[in-house]
Amino acid sequence: MKRRGRLGFHRGEPNPKILVKTPRLSVTTARVAIAALTLVAAGCASSSSSATKPSLSIEHIMEDGFKGKESLSARIAKGQGSAEDFKKMAFLTKELALNQPPKGDLASWTEKTKALKLAAEDLVAGKAGALDAYKSAVNCKACHSVHKPD
Ligand code: HEC
């Protein structure tokens, strides 16, 4: 008798403690879930911002893809680029665009590197006019005169 009274099960009434406790528990659960989601979202945001940092320096990209008469870029500009060459150039120019210019303003850098990157992507996709777009975007002197330190 005494035990039943303490638990509040008189005449089959629902236990008020359970009624009160259940919504509290779910609010707590929701809070925990929201906190977890916030953490996940914060994690995503920080990992995506680190993904926009270049993994190659401008010097490396220039040496690897642009320098000299036999370079990857020279081969492509002569119309002798292979599918592999286009892919590599799309990667190098994507990396180039992620770099900050050592000289000159960012708007000019973004415009030049984006044009180059898009042309390389269009070469990969086999789009008409991609080679001409590439040749005009890969103007060494136009970029160096503004962005290459002496
Ligand atoms: C969109 C801009 C841009 C284009 C296009 C470009 N370059 Fe460069 N290049 C640079 C910048 C910026 C530097 C200077 C990097 C530094 O000193 O940090 C550089 C540096 C170089 C260097 C020196 C690398 C080193 O080891 O310091 C060479 C060689 C070079 N470029 C060759 C070329 C050639 C050849 C072309 C054309 C086929 C070309 N670049 C097109 C931006 C460009």
pLDDT in the model for residue 77: 98
**pLDDT one-digit tens code per residue, 89-147:** 999 999 999 999 999 999 999 999 999 999 999 999 999 999 999 999 999 999 999 99
Give the C-alpha separation, 123 to 144, whole Å.
23
Q: Is the CB of 99 under 6 A from ligand 1?
A: no
Give the C-alpha separation, 32 to 118, whole Å.
44
pTM of the model: 0.74
Nearest Cα neighbor of 144 from 106, 102, 107, 83 is 102
Q: Is the CB of 134 under 6 A from ligand 1?
A: no
Please tell me the residue having the least CA distance from ligand 1 atom 3.
143
How does 50-85 read in b/e, with b if 16+ C-beta sit within 10 Å?
eeeeeebebeebbeebbeeeeebbbbbeeeebeeeb
Question: What value, to the nearest 5°, has the Cα angle with vertex 116 and ends 114 and 119?
Answer: 105
Q: Is the CB of 60 under 6 A from ligand 1?
A: no
What percent of the chain stands above pLDDT 90? 65
**pLDDT one-digit tens code per residue, 3-21:** 554 554 556 556 555 555 5
Please tell me the residue having the least CA distance from ligand 1 atom 16.
59
Give the C-alpha separation, 144 to 140, whole Å.
6
Nearest atom within ligand 1 for CA of residue 138:
5
Q: Is the CB of 61 under 6 A from ligand 1?
A: no
